[in-house]
Structure formats: structure tokens, C-alpha cells
Amino acid sequence: MKLGARIFKTGLAVMLSLYLAMWVGLEPPMFAALAAAIAVQPSLYRTFQTILEQVQANIIGAVVAVIFVMTFGHHPFVVGLVVVLAISIILKVKLEPTTIPLAIVTVIIIMESPATDFIQFAAGRFTLVISGVLSAFIINLFFLPPRYETKLYHQLSKATEDINQWTMLLIRNAADHRALKKDLNRLEEKMVKLENLYLLYKEERNYFMKNKYSKARKVVLYRQMLITAKKSLFVLKNLERRSEELSIMPDETYKKFEKQLDYLTAYHDRILLRYIGKVHSSHSDELIEKMNIGKEELMNYYFSLQNQACIDYNQWLHLLPAVSQMIEYQEQLEHLSHLVDSFFTYHQEHNEVKIEALEEE
């Protein structure tokens, strides 16, 4: 099992909050630890973004809890009502929904305070929660900065490799269809996770002007990498859905599909390797020429089948979207290749790729 940076940050935040609460003399320190564990964020940007909203949400929860305890007491029904009311207010003022769990914790630990010296007790509990939030903020700010670019590249590369392997196995009639359908679901879920990882990378801020524009170019580039990976998955799903029509097509049609898909998947792999400096752009020129010729040959050949007796018109029409998706896939690959070329051609002194090797799991 591999432990991520966020797991260590959560542990450090809990430890710091406990020490801080004991140093200040707040009791019980476990409430500060609980707040710290909830308040840890996955990125520096979200740390800055949520710290103020977390404090605001906790103030809302604390104020509502104090008012209701002093008015109605702290019976279970009242606690439940205050939780509902606090959530409603937080959503009404349009604070981040991620602040709600911590606000609920604040409500509960304040409302379980004893009736005697309630204000003093509630203030102490609120201070404990805020100390936990501040501990999480400090840990997020200074310890174990996330490596979202490295994670994003390697996960994109692995997803692309899996899709390309399935594509070539399918077009060569070597794929197990049960295993393919199961893996398609996994790959679709992977694309959703990659979207979230891309957003985390996009949210990361650069505090030096010289890195600002390089980061902006990388954001555009990674967005295109993600779009291209999704398009390759869409091609695979189209081919899988039309595998029966493909199986009864003439052998020459199958060979045309296989040859063009071989070029496309190889070119996709080549672009990703070029981005991290493992392949020179000049080595792709021959492959690009073959890919363009293959596209023309596939289009001309497929449209020539329209009026031939070897294939039913409805079958021809049903398979047409797969051809269309392959052409769109090539267009996305060409756009990605252009972005990679531009990235390394212009502003070379600022454009630096920092992809680290991932540790073996």
C-alpha cells in the first residue's frame, strides 16, 4: 500500500493541533485534532481559498449554536434543528459546501457544553476548532507540496497506453469482449478522476512571474492531452459497439482500419514521449506522412464501398461514425503535437518540464 502526501499532511496537522492546544492550555485537545483532520486540503490554492470560508462557516455554526442553547437548551432535537439551520445559512450565503462538515462539528461540540459558564465554555470549544483549522492551514502551506503535474502526466500516459492496447487488440480480433467491457467502465471512471486531477493542477498558483506564463502554456497543453485521451477512448467505444459489423466487413477493410489505428496509436505514444524529452520531433515526420496517407486511403476506400455489393448500405452507414471518430482523433493528435512543438520552440528559457519518475508501488 502506498501512502500519499495528503495522508502524511493529515497526520502532521493533527499532531500540530494537539501540541498547539496543549501549549495554549485548551481542553480537550482532541477537538482541535478533529478540526485539523477535516480541514486539510489537497492543494495550496484550495488552502488559501477555504481558510477564510472555514472560519466564516464555523462562526455561523457557533453563533447559531450559542443562541439556541441559551434559548431552548441543548436537547437532541434542538441540536438536530441547529445543524439543519446552520447548513441552510452556509448554503444561502454561498460558502463552499466543503466547509459544512467542520461547521457541524463546531455546532455539536459547542451544544454539548454544560449549562454553567456556557459562554466561556463555548468560546473555548470554538477556539479549539479554529486552532485546528489554523494547524491544517500551516501544514498545507509549508509541508509536502503536491506534485500534480507528475501525477497528471503519468496517469494520462498510463490511461492512453491501456486504451491503445485495447484498440489494437480489438481491431486484430484478439480482445476478450467481457474483459474489454469491464475495462471500459474502469477507463471511463479514470477519465473522471483525471478531470479532477487536472483541475487540481490548474488551481496551483505560481508566485514568480517567470513561471506564470510557462504554467499557463502547460495548462493548455495538459487540457489537450486530456481531450485527446478522451477521444481515443471514444474511438475504442465506437469500435467495440460496432465489432459485429467490423467482423463481416471485407478483409481489405479490416486491414485499412488496422493500419490507420496502428499509426494513430503510435503517434499518440510518440507525442507523450516527446513532451518529456524521450523522442525527437524529427523522428515523427515519417510516421506523420504515413498517417496522413493512411487517412486519405481509408476515406477513399470506405466511400468506394458505399455502392458495392459486398456490403449492405445500412451496415456501411452504421460503421461510418467509427471512421469519423478516427479522423477526429487524428485532428486532436495533430493539435496536441502542434502545442508540444510550440511549447519547446518559443520561450525556451522559461518552458521547463518537471516530470519526476513515480515510485514503484
Q: Cβ distance 129 to 58 under 8 Å?
A: yes
List the one residue out of 138, 157, 118 whose CA is nearest residue 36.
Answer: 138
Q: Residue 200, Cβ neighbours under 10 Å: how many? A: 16
3-state SS assignment for residue 310: coil
Residues 6+ positions from 102 with CB-CB distance below 8 Å: 35, 38, 39, 54, 57, 58, 129, 133
Mean pLDDT of 205-214: 60
Q: Cβ distance 333 to 271 under 8 Å?
A: yes
Q: Cβ distance 221 to 339 under 8 Å?
A: yes
Q: Cβ distance 332 to 227 under 8 Å?
A: yes
The per-residue pLDDT for 236 is 93
Residue 281 reports pLDDT greater than 70 = no
Residue 74 reports pLDDT greater than 70 = yes
Give the model confidence (pLDDT) of 323-356 as tens digits. 899 999 999 999 999 998 888 877 665 555 666 6
- Count how many residues are written for the chain: 361
Q: Is the peptide bond before 145 cis (omega within 30 degrees of 0)?
A: no
Q: Cβ distance 54 to 102 under 8 Å?
A: yes
| 1 vs 157, more confident | 157
Give the model confidence (pLDDT) of 123-139 as tens digits. 887 888 888 888 888 88
| 234 vs 62, more confident | 234
Give the model confidence (pLDDT) of 241-273 as tens digits. 888 777 777 778 878 888 999 999 999 999 998
Q: Cβ distance 327 to 295 under 8 Å?
A: yes
Q: Cβ distance 7 to 103 under 8 Å?
A: no
Cα-based angle 318, 324, 325 (whole degrees, multiple of 5): 105
The three cell numbers locating residue 292: 496522413
For 17, the enclosing helix (H) or strand (E) is helix 5-24
Residue 58 reports pLDDT greater than 80 = yes
The per-residue pLDDT for 44 is 65
Find cell 441547529 and name the residue.
82
The CA distance from 215 to 71, in Å, is 54
Q: Residue 110, Cβ neighbours under 10 Å: how many? A: 29
Distances (CA, A) of 317 to 164, 234, 242, 252, 321: 25, 18, 11, 18, 8
For the entire predicted model, the pTM comes to 0.72
Spell out the domains of the chain, with CATH numbers in brackets: 5-142 (no CATH), 148-345 (1.20.58)
List the one residue out of 307, 291, 225 whose CA is nearest residue 259.
Answer: 291
Torsion, Cα 211 217 220 221, to 10 degrees, reads -110
Find cell 469519423 and name the residue.
324
Mean pLDDT of 302-323: 78
The per-residue pLDDT for 361 is 40
Mean pLDDT of 24-39: 81
Q: Is the dihedral of CA 121, 123, 124, 130 positive or negative?
A: positive
Q: Cβ distance 63 to 36 under 8 Å?
A: no
The phi and psi torsions of 174 (rounded to 5 degrees) equal -110, 0
The mean-pLDDT minimum among 97-106, 108-117, 261-270 falls in 108-117
Residue 118 reports pLDDT greater than 80 = no
The CA distance from 334 to 338, in Å, is 6
Q: What is the 3-state secondary structure (H, E, C) of 335-353?
A: HHHHHHHHHHHCCCCCCCC
